Chain A
Amino acid sequence: MTEATDLAAKAGDHDPRVGLHAVAALRRLMEQLEAVQVRSARVHGWSWQEIAEELGVSKQAVHKKYGRH
């Protein structure tokens, strides 16, 4: 352990592991939330184009991920 990380550990705050774990978890949670919202939009009759625009991604990307064909 370097002096700096040792000091950080002694200070007992901002454990990088917890922060990184949270980011990884958030990424997975975001995927699930996106899936729920896309499914809901489809049920409400939204086109892939409309969904893609709202998500800020290409129509191809969203269709490839969630499409039926």
Chain B
Amino acid sequence: MFERFTRDARAIVVDAQARAAEIGSARIDPLHLLAGFGRKQGGGLLAGLGVSPSDVTAEIERVRRRGGMSDSDVEALAGFGIDVGQIVERVEQAHGPWALAGGGGSGKRGHIPFTAEAKKTLETSLGEALDIGDKFIGEEHLLLALAALPGPAADVLAQLDIDHPAVRRAVQTRKAG
């Protein structure tokens, strides 16, 4: 599948790996993949959606600090009587600020595996490409997959008013132009 990835899409995956290593994550998850869009200079796709890369980065950081819990995760857990804010506060008191943002990675260089969700995202990006008749997998298909699959990455995008149909429209506008 990777042979179908464009240079841009590969750059996003490489960036996700670098980001995971940087913050000591044991696995590459969809938020790491999304972070690649936030760090991209220019951010053509996001700009077309009316969002700046730094907005995406800021929102990801906020979610990361809470152990990867999006606003909708926090809300869902509140239904179980679980106060995520309080957990984060206690953990940070004991282990320092941003303690929940890492992930217990060994800090070793080299290969960091993908989470099941991240694998699913990559697979779905292939489906997204086929859906709109593209033979390659570009960053636009990755973003479509991130928006389509339920989870923190889609929640972060939703927080910025970006959903799957919105990405679809932006991709089509870009294709037409």
Using a CB–CB cutoff of 8 Å, the interface residues on chain A facing chain B are 18-19, 21-22, 24-26, 28-29, 31-36, 38-40, 65-68
Is B26 in contact with A40, judged by CB distance below 8 angstroms? no
Residues of A within 8 A of B77 (CB): 22, 25-26, 29
| Among A26, A28, A34, A38, residue most surrounded by chain B Cβ atoms (within 10 Å) | A28
Is A36 in contact with B84, judged by CB distance below 8 angstroms? no
Is B91 in contact with A21, judged by CB distance below 8 angstroms? no
Residues of B101-153 at the interface with A, using a CB-CB cut-off of 8 Å, are 102-108, 150-152
Identify 9 residue pairs between A and B in the complex whose beta-carbon atoms are under 8 Å apart, listed by A's number: A25-B73, A26-B77, A26-B82, A28-B68, A28-B69, A28-B152, A31-B103, A39-B95, A68-B107
Is B48 close to A, CB under 8 A?
no
Q: A24-B150, A25-B69, A32-B100 are in contact. List 11 more A-B contacts (CB 8 A).
A: A22-B79, A25-B74, A28-B67, A28-B69, A28-B73, A29-B67, A29-B73, A29-B77, A35-B104, A36-B104, A65-B104
Is B104 in contact with A34, judged by CB distance below 8 angstroms? yes
CA distance A19 to B82 in the complex (A): 12
Is B87 close to A, CB under 8 A?
yes
Residues of B32-81 at the interface with A, using a CB-CB cut-off of 8 Å, are 67-70, 72-74, 76-77, 79-80
CA distance A34 to B105 in the complex (A): 12
Closest Cβ–Cβ distance, residue A19 to chain B (whole Å)? 7
Closest Cβ–Cβ distance, residue B4 to chain A (whole Å)? 29
Residues of A within 8 A of B162 (CB): none
Is A21 in contact with B72, judged by CB distance below 8 angstroms? yes
Closest Cβ–Cβ distance, residue B30 to chain A (whole Å)? 11
Closest Cβ–Cβ distance, residue B49 to chain A (whole Å)? 25
Residues of A within 8 A of B104 (CB): 34-36, 38-39, 65-66
CA distance A68 to B109 in the complex (A): 10
| Among A22, A24, A26, A67, residue most surrounded by chain B Cβ atoms (within 10 Å) | A22
Residues of B145-165 at the interface with A, using a CB-CB cut-off of 8 Å, are 150-152
Is B170 close to A, CB under 8 A?
no
Residues of B within 8 A of A22 (CB): 73, 76-77, 79-80, 82
Is B103 in contact with A32, judged by CB distance below 8 angstroms? yes
